[in-house]
Amino acid sequence: MKQLLSFAEKMARDASHITSEDIESVRSAGFSDRAILDAAHVTGFFSYMNRVVQALGADSKGATLDLDPREAPFIRIEPTARQTNHEHPA
């Protein structure tokens, strides 16, 4: 497990530094290529979501920052004609 977590941490910090030796280390620890792919997807998605949430002004607990809505740097996505208020709360 340590090798897989080390791989995920290295990927999260700077994916350009992942080498074939890193992949081989995870394989040697008994993880399949599918498990490595899954770890890469989870790590990448987590990093992506962190950046999206930070860009929209949310804190780590999921609450938006205490800003005046007229001054907040938020985007507002209006529901499409097919969505109801229940599916996309205002």
Q: What is the domain partition of the chain in residue ranges?
A: 2-55
pLDDT tens digits, one per residue of 1-38? 999 999 999 999 999 999 999 999 999 999 999 999 99
pLDDT of 57 > 80? The answer is: no
Degrees (nearest 5) of the Cα angle 14, 41, 46?
Answer: 65
Neighbours of 52 (CB within 10 A): 10
**pTM here?**
0.62
The answer to whether residues 3 and 35 touch, using CB atoms and an 8 Å cutoff, is no
